[in-house]
Structure 1
Amino acid sequence: MQLLESMRLFARLAELGSFTKAAQSLNIGRPQVTRYIQELEASLGVRLFQRTTRKVALTAEGERFYARVQDILADISAATSMFDRTGATLAGRLRIDIPTAFAQMKFIDSLKGFTDRFPGINLVLGVTDRAVDLVGEGIDCALRIGNLPDSSLIARPIARATMVTCAAPDYLSTHGHPDTLEALAGHRGVNFLSGQSNRILPWHFSVKGHNRTLVGQAGITVTESNAYVQCGVSGFGIIQAPGITVAEHLHSGALVEILHAYRPAPRPVSLLYPSRTHLAPQVQVFIEWLQENFVQLQAEWLSK
């Protein structure tokens, strides 16, 4: 059992590249991490890590050992969870990260259903719109909306989100109700500055089956999705957002959809996680739960 724990600790240290981060992620003391690694190296007769005052990196021998350890841990994880997916025996921490917009909708309420079904799983919920370093920050998986940049992460499609272009009634009564894309030239928009690319995200429109992008003249630029929607409600200008994030405002009349005939193609909603081969059972059941329940949260604005 000590060898297995040493292998798990070794894999975590290899992923995080820091004794302190590995200790924190496993809720143990840093000296214990050091001792386990030293004992593992002694038992193998090789040096697994190169250590400097600023960085911990795998040696060539450590790289080869890490590849085998990943396979071993994946097999053990599959073996220990193969008989029960009901939640009766599943236990451990599951750290997930969701967009800010999801923290204001039915998604949070629905998580109670997940914890009821899997009471042994301790959820740690992060909420942010920025790009997160899953491995470096110890995050098991992240839910994101939109097309994703190429990376080594695995992206599991969960749903498609309908996009809506809209504005506050007061704004439209003052500036007019645009019914063509050309009419947008005389309007102001709320711009969203992406924290990942540090650029203004354009609006997308569908014109005879083809995608067309525009960047509106900004009345204000924001970096957080709830603030983006609230700026639209407050009349700063036109916004384009997933329907799930503005549904309550559309139903109350605080926002009015415009340019319905030019609605863009739905944007993908994906769950990101670092590895396909070393997928913890907590992550696997969360994926299955999302695929079963997510679209039902807002059937009007989400589809498979």
Structure 2
Amino acid sequence: NTATGSQALYSNITGNHNTANGYSALYSNTASNNTAAGSEALFFNTTGNSNTANGAFALIFNKTGSNNTATGSQALQSNTGSNNTATGSLALVHNTTGSGNTAMGLRALLNSTGSNNIGLGFNAGINLTTGSGNVCIGSSVSGVAGESNTTRIRNVYSSVASAQVVYVNSDDKIGTLASSRRFKDEIKPMNKASQTILALKPVTFRYKPEFDPGRTPMFGLVAEEVEKVNPDLVTRNDKGEVESVRYDAVNAMLLNEFLKEHRQVQEQQKQIENLTALVKEQAAKIQKVSDKVEMSRPAPQMVDNDQ
């Protein structure tokens, strides 16, 4: 063990491979593999192992939590959980039992007590409290108290792009929908496979207030109803529940139906044109016959009534 500073590693009896630099750093420690640099850093740590605290009061109240890293004044100050990383003054300062959190930036995840949250940026996730599994990226992307499994990224809504649409699958993989032939096999014409969309029932609706406080009028389909028509046109969440509609596939099927109708209209137009030409031809022939009949008629004769 290495201790530098008044009362650093003061209570350590059995812990090994600890480093304490600063007044009362690792004061209560009896565990191993901890590093504390700063006044009262990891002050109350007793059995927690493999923690790193850099900054005054960093991880000061951590007692049993392990594998935490705090860099910055009061970072992870109240922590007793494990596997947390906080970089920045007051980052994760109120976290108590939450584990697996990552906060980088001044006051990032300041009030969070949940687990597996990520806050990157000044005040990122500052409004998050008990919720878990949230991601807040960008300065002042604050989140909402109590929410869970929500991702917020600064400037995404207002950014304008003319490139590809981004999709997310049920295991949270983000990517684009590739259309190149090199990504595909079993390619064949859609033919009648698109006819099922004719049974779909478009609706107007509003999302529930907890999902859209603004209650914006929406237009679309109900996924459960679409599933009854064609199960391949819906997506599912990680629980296997119907979640959304594959509108990209619906659009492709609509295009196929439109092209079929367009070809049918073109064929009908050709038939109409042929019939029109035939009618004109018949009319011309009839006119010729009428003209001949007219010419073959004998000239009218005058009759003298006095005879």
Same fold (TM over 0.5): no
Higher relative contact order (CA closer than 8 Å, sequence separation 6+): 1
TM-score (norm 2): 0.20
Q: Which has the larger radius of gyration?
A: 2
TM-score (norm 1): 0.20
Higher normalized helix content (fraction of residues) = 1
Higher normalized strand content (fraction of residues) = 1
